Amino acid sequence: MRRSASPLSLVLLGIGVFLLVLGPMLAWYVEPRAKRTPIDVDQTTVFNGTGKYFDQSAVTTRDNEPLTVTRRVMGNVAESERHDVAVWDVSTTIDTKTTLKRKDPRKSLQWTTERWVSDRETNRPVHCCGETPKKIQGEAYLKFPFGVEKRDYRWWDSTLGDAVTVKYRDKVKIKGYEGLRFTAKVEPTRTGSRQVPGLLVGMPERPQVMAEEWYENQGIELVVDQATGRILRAAIGPKLTLRAPGGEKDAVTLLESERIVFDDKTQQAQVEQASADSRKLRTVGTTAPVASGAAGVALALVGGVLVARGRREE
């Protein structure tokens, strides 16, 4: 009388071994590759607030007016794949209630375009592919790195033209979804100069002067999804002014608001996307490997026992 393994026992054993191998592969190989900045993004975020701005047509500063900041991000897939980086083209407009109706960025109060290039794993800037501006630095900009930690980060402020240290504060919930909150301020800083009539900055005796441009931010607040680095809510308090050459006081306020924040629609969209992406990462990195390992152990044991017992044949 001899023993031979039944087909069922071999199948169970094989599936069990496969699942035991699959679990670690998902956790150690697949998940790290899933934590890569997407390149096919098409995203619009909208900030709303009230404040003051300089009306050039009336040559006066208008106060307590609605302000809207719209940011459109488009991934450049061809450039991204060519250089194995994330290339995002960014268009940002600042509108008043008048310019917003025109639906033309060229007629906005302010319109800027940039190209942000980053490493898809670390989120750090990569200096290639026509990036603008050329000296972007820091760890965070349109998003934070995957696996956000409770520590300070360097966040790129385009208006300042430099990175700002945002400090971790606490955990808060946005639309019922938990995120990590970071805050910062930017003290008044000279950012450039522009030619304006001397009268505008208190120098009527001079037809034209190179006025100094100054910028400060009275309150940056970023609430970030810990798993994906997606910004769930952003709020800023910008102030842009002009000073006479060598002046110590602001002569003209170009733009000022105590708080411009993601609107409800943007916050909801960011939360939904962060929740979906976080769930995928958990599935690949934790749920599936644990389930695969448990099932693999069970099937391998059953299959092994059946193989050991064999099938008696005369």
Q: For position 299, what pLDDT does the model report?
A: 44
pLDDT per residue of the chain (314 residues) written in tens, 0 to 9: 455 555 655 454 455 444 444 445 434 444 444 577 888 999 999 999 999 999 988 888 899 999 999 999 999 999 999 999 999 999 999 999 999 988 889 999 999 999 999 998 888 999 998 888 888 899 998 899 999 999 999 999 999 999 999 999 999 999 999 999 999 999 999 999 999 999 999 999 999 999 999 999 999 999 999 999 999 999 999 999 999 999 999 999 999 999 999 999 999 999 999 999 887 876 554 554 444 445 544 544 544 555 556 554 43
Q: Is 92 left (phi over 0), alpha (psi -120 to 50) or beta?
A: beta
Q: Please list the helix, strand and coil fractions of the chain in percent, rounded to the nearest 5, in that order.
A: 30, 45, 30
- Map out the domains of the chain as residue ranges: 2-30+282-313, 31-279
Q: For position 1, what pLDDT does the model report?
A: 46
Q: Is the link from the previous residue into 133 a cis peptide, with omega within 30 of 0? A: yes
Q: How far is CA 88 from CA 41, 71, 261, in A?
A: 8, 12, 22
Angle between helices 288-309 and 7-25 (to 10 degrees): 150
User: Residue-wise over 283-311: b if at least 16 C-beta within 10 A, else e?
Assistant: ebbeebbeebbebbeebbebbeebbeeee
Q: For position 182, what pLDDT does the model report?
A: 98
Any idea which residue has 């760890």 for tokens?
139
Cα torsion at 148, 154, 156, 162 (round to 10°)?
Answer: 180
Ramachandran angles phi, psi of 40, nearest 5°:
-105, 40
Q: Residue 214 is encoded by which pair of tokens?
A: 């100054």
Cβ-Cβ contacts under 8 Å for 97 (sequence gap 6 or more): 65, 66
Is the Cβ–Cβ distance between 122 and 141 less than 8 Å?
A: no
Closest CA to 244 of 208, 292, 289, 212: 212
Q: Residue 15 is encoded by which pair of tokens?
A: 């599936």
Q: What is the maximum alpha-carbon separation in the chain?
A: 117
Q: For position 16, what pLDDT does the model report?
A: 45
Q: For position 7, what pLDDT does the model report?
A: 60
Measured CA to CA, the distance from residue 53 to residue 68 in angstroms comes to: 12
How many C-beta neighbours within 10 Å does residue 36 have? 13
Q: For position 304, what pLDDT does the model report?
A: 52
- DSSP per-residue string spanning 88-116: EEEEEEEEEHHHHTT--GGGSSEEEEEEE
Ramachandran angles phi, psi of 9, nearest 5°:
-65, -40
Bridge partners of 52, per DSSP, are 256
Separate counts of helices (H) and strands (E) for the chain? 6, 14
Any idea which residue has 């790290």 for tokens?
32
Is the Cβ–Cβ distance between 300 and 20 less than 8 Å?
A: yes
